Copies of this chain bind each other. A is one copy, B any other.
Amino acid sequence: MTEHSPTIVIVGGVAGGASAATRARRMNEQAEIILFEKDAHVSFANCGLPYYIGEEIPERRSLLVATPEFLKKRFRIDVRVNSEVISIDRERRIVRVRSGDEITEQSWDRLILAPGASPFVPPLDNVDAPNVLTLRNLQDTDRIKAIVDSTETRSAVVVGAGFIGLEMVEQLARRDIPTTLVELQPQVLPLLDFDMARIIEQELRDRDVALHLGTAVDAIRCDDSGRAVGVVLQNGTSVPADLIILGIGVRPNVSLAEDAGLEIGPTGGIATNAFQQTSDPDIYAVGDACEYIYGPTGSPQRVPLAGPANRAGRLAGEHAATGRCQPMAPVMGTAIVRVFGVSAGLTGLTEAAARRQNQTARSATIISRHHAGYFPGAEMITLRVVYDPDTERILGAQCVGGAGVDKRIDVIATAMHFQGTIRDLAGLDLAYAPPFGSAKDPVHLAAFVAGNECDRLESFERSDADLSGRQVLDVRTAAEVERQPLGGTDSVIHIPVDELRERLEELDPERPVTVSCAVGARAHIACRILKQHGFEVINLSGGATMRNRLF
């Protein structure tokens, strides 16, 4: 090797590997660039796999983002598929590669590891049955699709209500296959706060998805031919199924790095610095197997998502080829999933996650239309911003609803990149015209709510609060209250907000008042009135809309 023509070896074509390879080439025409991929395909659209099974993506070839031939022709990258790197010799700077029965050696000057992660498979009997499958690559996809395409497939079970599980449920419904969703946690999308996830749960029920939450698969039942015919759940339920998809998380593929003596970080991923270098500066790691700096905490964390993998791959490829690159920005874990007519996005910490990390956190939750309410087609979105009440810094956000979820999450993720506060959110100058937003965007509204709490103008109560024995005031109109009484309450005083000033004597000034309305806006006004009349008040966050999802 010379410094001008290093040999750069990349392990793994998905999860940032292809990004690393193509960036390295653009930085250095002279480098030798070799990419080993243990599977048959390199750089396929792994986020698109469920949609091909559901035939929302009609053509299989759409999934092949970059073929070996393409990478060869355009980037002179030597792609070797079906070639598994089985060990790294850092002393001799070689990797050993198994291809079929053959084992060869390949030297390197820089090594970029993008081994990704593998689906977790629970240690159950019959988990190897041909119709019990995980979804990680094209081979899995082809197998699942063949079963779905079969006229004999009458029902499916999806285990795990995370991103892939929910996408599969949606796509199986597209294919008219009745599906049961099983999740160990007592909620779908365990990455969200419980009450936010209830919106998705309701959407799934509305679409006739059978849900079993808070339980796990106890056994997979097979017929005599060894094909699975259903599952038995820990709650005793037996569910027949011709297809069982396991989407219960992934494990980072770190053994190659571990065996080579590279440092593994505190969360079990390959430790990296800001240039994606491992503890050996000539070896880089990117994608699902490595750790990034997680923005909300500043600590290393695994974030198995495609966006960071692609950005990290690009940086590692540049650094491997030139010795320098921009530092990898902290990652927020920003993610989104569409579930039928509802989307759920998140970035950073949820309230529950903040609590688990002993991080002081408060949250502001608003329910609002995604664009001007007077313009047709406005869809409801629920937005929660989680923040540190001492520094006012944004820690995270969740958004669930119809259109415009992705925009709000991206805006808040951007503010978090700059360690922004809720005051920053309140001052953002966002694009407004009736088809796109409101003069006061949902992001502003959430920031206003948080600011009011920081300014001690108002206090909020979680929507799942125990209200028994409390003085609860519902300030909606009589018609609204009749249509949808506030859930989880034993006694409620009804005074419409517009009559409150004249009917203060109906409240006991010696006792605190918990105020609720439909979504929290009128309760805010009522709280301000009552507080200035000497009452101790608290606003029930999200009003009847949020609470009645729980009770």
Task: Please give the residue numbers on chain A whose beta carbons come within 8 Å of chain B beta carbons, in ascending order.
Answer: 26-30, 45, 47-48, 51, 56-58, 62-63, 65, 73-76, 163, 167, 295, 305-311, 314, 326, 328-338, 343, 345, 347, 372, 374-376, 406-407, 409-411, 413-415, 417-418, 420, 423-424, 426-437, 439-441, 444, 448, 451, 457, 497-498, 501, 524-525, 528-529, 532-533
Within 8 Å by CB of A497, from B74, B311, B426, B433, lies: B74
Within 8 Å by CB of A307, from B415, B439, B501, lies: B439
Query: Could you say which of A308, A428, A440, A448 has the most chain B C-beta atoms within 10 Å of its C-beta?
Result: A428
Given A406-B437, A424-B329, are A431 and B57 neighbors across the interface (CB < 8 Å)?
A: no
Residues of B within 8 A of A332 (CB): 429
Residues of B within 8 A of A431 (CB): 334-336, 345, 347, 406, 409-410, 413
Query: Could you say which of A332, A375, A430 has the most chain B C-beta atoms within 10 Å of its C-beta?
Result: A430
Distance (whole angstroms) from the CB of A23 to the closest CB of chain B: 9
What CA separation (Å) do A30 and B415 show in the bound complex?
37
Distance (whole angstroms) from the CB of A315 to the closest CB of chain B: 9
Q: Which residue of chain B has its CB nearest to the CB of A65? A: B374
Given A29-B532, A418-B418, are A429 and B413 neighbors across the interface (CB < 8 Å)?
A: yes
What CA separation (Å) do A530 and B62 show in the bound complex?
31
What CA separation (Å) do A430 and B440 show in the bound complex?
22
Distance (whole angstroms) from the CB of A382 to the closest CB of chain B: 16
A-B contact pairs, 21 of them (CB 8 A): A26-B457, A27-B457, A28-B532, A29-B528, A47-B434, A63-B374, A74-B497, A74-B498, A308-B429, A311-B444, A314-B448, A326-B451, A329-B428, A334-B431, A336-B433, A337-B433, A347-B431, A407-B410, A411-B411, A415-B418, A418-B424
Q: Which residue of chain B has its CB nearest to the CB of A59? A: B374
What CA separation (Å) do A433 and B334 show in the bound complex?
10
Contact B372 A45 (CB under 8 A): yes
Residues of B within 8 A of A48 (CB): 372, 374-375, 434
Contact A45 B528 (CB under 8 A): no
What CA separation (Å) do A75 and B451 show in the bound complex?
21
What CA separation (Å) do A528 and B372 show in the bound complex?
46
Distance (whole angstroms) from the CB of A17 to the closest CB of chain B: 13
What CA separation (Å) do A76 and B528 show in the bound complex?
13
Within 8 Å by CB of A57, from B311, B376, B498, lies: B376
